[in-house]
Structure 1
């Protein structure tokens, strides 16, 4: 048997800390922009965010640029944004129910500015009313679900791994996390697989289906009509795909909770099990605290979350989330116009 390979000694998670002066520079920029735009999803703000992002501290620009270009880590945490716990208001009980949305305007702008250094922000018709910025928080009605609103362990996965137009980068900005609930991250560079398993995983022998949140809202969108939503098509007739792809240091696409090998393919099942076991062993805890911005390379890492107890009293863990594509053009067939940012 050929020698098993570990793809690279690259670190799973890298960290960057803003200095006090840099943190003030960021805050000054956000205050200025919040005085100019009423929403982080304002069309003009989103369109001009790359220009505004260039005004972020130089060291931060370098750190994010290196992360994007060199791919030496699977995730990057930017720390040092100051957040006033009282100012942001209570953690909502539902993502639609933030008491005063303007209370987190500056934080949402920061999220999109940093993301603009990586690619183009986009949203999904089937998630959170097609918003570009999502709220990640526990909801009493969703506590047992595999979603950002549950409290059971969120199994690690590639973000929207079922979809050919999934994001390149997932960004999570911490607003509140009093119990230090960790996000879990593992990078493909850290796994060791036999050549035989690698070969199988690089072949289109696996099926990944949409998660329950996408499917639920897809059903609502076409209810009462004869239409079939694209998400429902992907559920009933998923396209076989490879789990590993790219060069010698591969990218990955995996979601164990919503995937399976092709029926009867024992070799594919064995190879997938080997990869899942390796990634499970490589999981690292990342506590995304207030002002921490976790950037996950969605082609090199999987992410999840540990189980936790929610109080539903306004003090629970609360993150803002956005996804970014290096090339938005590839999703043009599923967007209404070239300038639209929502995938249907």
Structure 2
């Protein structure tokens, strides 16, 4: 994908200075951190070019022009540490002492109007996640794997799911070709008959929780029966994992096969996230994947690091889950 915007070095450095002025830690006190970022906005310290860019992204989403955008040459932390891959989250708490990348993602979310989402049982309730290989998840279908990821939306089995994802390239070796694929839900619909769509809109399907989710909460085994197609073109689906619920009829099996065929046929966009790239995409109004096209140095590829956030479509979408907030922290759901 071509970037919708490429920051000049001068723009990047100007925005870096603003981001670096936020002294709060997002891992120690997210509400205070978020408020500090809001203060930067309220003091009108955000450069106009970034405000205009965020307005463009929001407008293109609302008009339906695009649900996937790439920004290039974004500001990130000056020091990008390597983490112990036995427990990289704990190691991040020890080694990462600046939070420019996190502040950039928080500011983007605030200006685009997409409040961040966190899960109480995942990464200690953090609002900022790491797409970073963990040794025990090698070969699994989780964001902590060093393997490919089939077409899916994040947290498919969970009752509260993000509308948008943001992936910020913190360390992305260019010698290993790893692409993030995106299939827009509207393109999937073009290959699904009205009859199949009607079946997919019925709660005839289930999705087992991924291993990382089960490790975070042992009570999570399989979702309740759910529809695969919601709203106009929202999909709740994980390829190879979502399956027909017990007792569902032949129509459900045929509809699931039709969806698999539609994914193969659909127009797809693929982007190789570079260091300093921000790739933001719809989580439910489309499906995404990780395609490992050419890995020349497996150990180097395992050290690839994307900083990631989940976000609601808007404040109204967040407010619908207000009864699930944990410990009064807006956006952190019991899960």
Q: Same fold (TM over 0.5)?
A: yes
Structure-1 residue corresponding to 2:40: 52
Q: Tell me how large the CA RMSD over aligned residues is.
A: 2.6
Partner of 1:214: 213
Secondary structure of the structure 1 residue equivalent to 2:19? helix
Q: Equivalents in 1 of 2:159, 2:210: separation in Å?
A: 14
Q: Which residue of 2 aligns with 1:187?
A: 184
**Where does residue 287 of structure 1 map in the other structure?**
272
CA contact (8 A) 2:16 2:76 kept: no
Match of 2:18 among 10, 19, 29: 29
Corresponding residue SS for 1:258: coil
Give the corresponding residue for 1:9: none
Q: Given that residues 175 and 291 in structure 1 are in contact (C-alpha distance below 8 angstroms), is that contact kept between their aligned partners in structure 2?
A: yes
1:13 CA drift (Å): 8.1
Q: TM-score, normalised by structure 1?
A: 0.81
Assess, with a 3 A threshold, how the Cα gap between structure 1 residues 147 and 309 changes in structure 2: closer, same or farther: farther
Change over 3 Å in CA distance of 1:271–1:113 after alignment to 2:
same
Moved over 4 A (4+): 308-315
Residues 298-317 of structure 1: per-residue CA shift (max 9 Å, x gap)? 12121121245775469821
- Give me the whole-angstrom Cα distance separating, in 1, the residues matched to 2:301 and 2:79: 13
Instruction: Compute the displacement of 1:255 (Å).
Output: 1.5
Residues 1:200 and 1:310: Cα distance change in structure 2 (over 3 Å): farther
Q: C-alpha displacement at 1:244, in angstroms?
A: 1.6
Q: Distance in 2 between matches of 1:272 and 1:107?
A: 39
Give the C-alpha shift of residue 37 in structure 1: 2.1
SS in 2 for 1:239: coil
Equivalent residue number for residue 119 of structure 1? 114
2:91 aligned residue = 97
1:166 aligns to 2:155 (yes or no)? no
Task: Give yes or no for contact 1:91–1:315 (8 Å, CA) kept in 2.
Answer: no
Name the CA distance, whole Å, in 2 between partners of 1:297 and 1:44: 27
Aligned-partner SS, 2:4: strand
TM-score, scaled to structure 2: 0.83
Instruction: Call closer, same or farther: CA 1:322–1:252 in 2, change over 3 Å.
Output: same
Report how far residue 337 of structure 1 moved: 4.4
The 2-side partners of 1:298 and 1:313 are apart by 28
Contact 2:141-2:149 at 8 Å conserved across structures: yes
Asked if residue 76 in structure 1 is aligned to residue 84 in structure 2, the reply is no
Instruction: Give unpaired runs (5+ residues) of structure 1.
Output: 1-11, 220-228
Q: Is the 8 A contact 1:121 1:323 kept in 2?
A: yes
Equivalent position to 2:303, from 312, 316, 319: 316
The separation in 2 between residues aligned to 1:280 and 1:255, in whole angstroms, is 14
Taking the aligned partners of 2:67 and 2:217, their CA distance within structure 1 comes to: 31
